[in-house]
Structure 1
Amino acid sequence: MIDAIDKEILRTLQADGRKSATALAAEVGLTVAPCHRRLKDLEASGVISGYRAIIDPAAVGLGFEALVFVTLARVDRPTIEDFEAMVVANLHITSAQRLFGDPDYILKVMAKDLSDYQQCFDNELTMLPGVQRVSSTLVMKNLKPGAGLPL
């Protein structure tokens, strides 16, 4: 069971996943040993599923972002499994959600520039298994990238 202290640990780590156990303990009002034990329990139970670096896309040459809406021709199990496997394997697609209603999926696609995105759209996205329709909109400004959960 996650209590108020665990939630405070999670809120703190969402803001700074590199915070030391000593600093984390001080911030949440614990000594190091119980804080470390709680942290290990949260990791072991899968509440904390991993840690990662947050990279500025423009700093690595990926300043072009599009939201892509995909409608499948069929929504049978083999089509969905094939489509989802190809989406997971595609490096341009950095986020994907299956939706209720139309469209069936929304994908976040990162590219170098418009030309790179056009190549991805024509040669990768429209070629995904079972695709009936693909449309996209370009992201003008990302106001809240990687926001944490509301704990």
Structure 2
Amino acid sequence: MLDDLDRRILRHLQGNPSQSLPELADRLGLTTSRLSRKIDKLREGGILRGQRAVIDWQALGYAVEVSLRVTLDKTQSRAFDDFLEAARDIPEVIEIQTFLGQVDVRLSVIAKDMTHYQEIYRRRILTLPHIADIEALMHVARIKSDESLPI
């Protein structure tokens, strides 16, 4: 279980993940070595899974995001496995989610423009195995995109 100090550490890391260990220790009123031990325990417990760079794909020239809701032909025993394996190989697919219900998979696809999206869709998406139905939803605006947890 997390104690109050663990929660404070996690809140500060979520707020500013690039701060240095000494800077964070100072903010929390801890020694760097104590903070380091606490962070190590959070990693060992699987709560902290490392740091990562968050890249703004729009700054790299990608202007279009489309959400594809895919229903698979579940009469095929390997439908999910084959589809997911092939979808992972498409660089423009930035997120894959699976569901229980009418829709089996959601792909988030980015493209530089609509012409680029059509090329990806026709040459890569439509060639994915075991697709029974596909619906495209064009993203208009991202209202909330926050990975911070209420700790």
Q: What's the CA shift string for 1:105-149, capped at 9, x where partnerless?
A: 111111111111111111111211211111111111112234322
Q: What's the CA shift string for 1:5-38, capped at 9, x where partnerless?
A: 2222222222322111122223334222111111
What percent of counterpart residues are identical?
30
CA contact (8 A) 1:125 1:134 kept: no
TM-score, normalised to structure 2, is: 0.89
> CA separation of 1:5/1:89 partners in 2, compared to 1, >3 Å: closer, same or farther?
farther
> CA separation of 1:77/1:28 partners in 2, compared to 1, >3 Å: closer, same or farther?
farther
Unmatched segments (≥5 aa) in structure 1: none
**Secondary structure of residue in 1 paired with 2:54:** coil
Give the distance between the partners of 2:57 and 2:28, measured in 1 at CA.
32
> CA separation of 1:75/1:28 partners in 2, compared to 1, >3 Å: closer, same or farther?
farther
The aligned counterpart of 2:57 is: 57
Q: Structure 1 segments of 4 or more deviating over 6 A?
A: none
Give the distance between the partners of 1:11 and 1:86, measured in 2 at CA.
37
RMSD after superposition: 1.8
Work out which of the two has the higher radius of gyration on C-alpha atoms and give 1 or 2: 2
> CA separation of 1:123/1:20 partners in 2, compared to 1, >3 Å: closer, same or farther?
same
TM-score, normalised to structure 1, is: 0.89
CA contact (8 A) 1:99 1:105 kept: yes
Q: How does 1:1-151 map to 2 (within 5 A)?
A: 1-74=1-74, 77-151=77-151
Aligned positions, number: 151
**Secondary structure of residue in 2 paired with 1:118:** helix
